[in-house]
């Protein structure tokens, strides 16, 4: 294309979840309440783990980090989506769009690796219980979490290096509620087919790799649990079931968006809402309802901080 026909794009237009004003008015309070629940739920888990000495273990340290990542992953896209429900002009600056791309893949990539780390923690706890305190000490846990953040950052940066250099012209409309790589690439003034495949592979391959590793890990863990004593079986199954549920909820939508060859707009929007809003919403509930130690810790927190007179 003739460089003279290119113009510097200063903003994009987000078409949002739907075009109906009535539906947007209906969705506004619903997503606002969901976002508040996500923030309060994940903050509650983080504070509970920090304040309760009984939860100062590698497993709960990793869980606190998962809540932190979920909270920020949701915050990258949801506030903008909520405000756009009441705006007629749903624009986002070029810089804002690039920031969404960067942080969605930063937190998303980091969470993928963090879920693998959590599976490794459960593998050591269940399959090598006598060596757990040696293998999964605080220093090792911090190192693994730092590794997940580093991989997420490198992954996001590898995407940004390509995206920010693309020439944009013509349509500025993104048919979604946030900027994501497949949709932004379509607006570039180049033949984006091969680039789209390459960029989707940059997200899809790590997602599939982590997902397969997780499936193998939890299959091995469950087989080990079946051969263990009945005393520890119930607790191990409860913990692993919670982890597996979170893995399926997070990786399912990601794999369909970045690996599945067919792209259907309303399906992609639904899946994007699922992994950016629904999964961070369900994670606190899943770990709270399925974890006996968390339930006990909540009772201790209420006893010590909400009803302290009962302990005098």
**Residue 312, pLDDT score:** 45
pLDDT of 5 higher than 60: no
Q: What is the pLDDT of residues 113-166, one digit of tens each?
A: 999 999 999 889 888 888 898 899 888 999 999 999 999 999 999 989 888 888
Q: What is the pLDDT of residues 237-246, one digit of tens each?
A: 777 777 788 8
**Percent of the chain scored above 70 by pLDDT?**
90
**Residue 233, pLDDT score:** 63
As a whole number of angstroms, the distance between CA 43 and CA 71 comes to 8
Q: How far apart are the first and last CA of the chain?
A: 78
* Mean pLDDT, range 88-94, rounded to an integer: 89
pLDDT of 230 higher than 50: yes
The most confident of the ranges 2-16, 100-114, 177-191, 244-258 is 100-114
The CATH architecture assigned to 11-289 reads Up-down Bundle (1.20)
pLDDT of 204 higher than 90: no
Q: What ranges do the domains of the chain cover?
A: 11-289
**Residue 10, pLDDT score:** 79
Q: What is the pLDDT of residues 27-79, one digit of tens each?
A: 999 999 999 999 999 999 999 999 988 889 998 999 999 999 999 999 999 99
pLDDT of 227 higher than 60: yes
As a whole number of angstroms, the distance between CA 136 and CA 117 comes to 11
Cβ atoms of 52 and 297 closer than 8 Å: yes
As a whole number of angstroms, the distance between CA 181 and CA 163 comes to 8
pLDDT of 231 higher than 60: no
């Amino acid at each position: 294309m003739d460089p003279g026909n290119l113009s510097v794009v200063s903003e994009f237009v987000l078409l949002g979840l739907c075009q109906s004003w009535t539906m947007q008015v209906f969705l506004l309070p619903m997503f606002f309440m969901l976002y508040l629940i996500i923030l309060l739920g994940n903050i509650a888990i983080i504070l509970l783990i920090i304040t309760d000495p009984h939860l100062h273990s590698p497993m709960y340290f990793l869980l606190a980090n998962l809540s932190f990542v979920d909270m920020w992953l949701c915050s990258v896209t949801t506030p903008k989506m909520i405000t756009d429900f009441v705006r007629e002009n749903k624009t986002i600056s070029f810089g804002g769009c690039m920031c969404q791309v960067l942080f969605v893949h930063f937190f998303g990539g980091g969470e993928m690796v963090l879920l693998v780390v959590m599976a490794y923690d459960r593998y050591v706890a269940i399959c090598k219980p006598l060596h757990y305190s040696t293998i999964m000490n605080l220093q090792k846990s911090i190192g693994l979490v730092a590794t997940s953040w580093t991989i997420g950052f490198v992954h996001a940066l590898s995407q940004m290096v390509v995206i920010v250099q693309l020439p944009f012209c013509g349509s500025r409309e993104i048919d979604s509620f946030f900027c994501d790589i497949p949709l932004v690439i379509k607006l570039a003034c180049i033949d984006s087919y091969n680039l789209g495949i390459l960029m989707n592979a940059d997200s899809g391959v790590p997602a599939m790799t982590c997902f397969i590793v997780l499936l193998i890990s939890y299959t091995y863990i469950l087989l080990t649990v079946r051969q263990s004593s009945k005393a520890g079986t119930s607790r191990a199954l409860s913990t692993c079931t919670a982890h597996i549920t979170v893995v399926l909820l997070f990786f399912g939508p990601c794999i369909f968006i970045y690996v599945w060859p067919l792209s259907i707009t309303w399906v992609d929007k639904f899946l994007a809402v699922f992994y950016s809003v629904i999964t961070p919403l369900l994670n606190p509930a899943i770990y709270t309802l399925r974890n006996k130690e968390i339930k006990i810790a909540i009772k201790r927190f209420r006893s010590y901080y909400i009803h302290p007179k009962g302990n005098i």
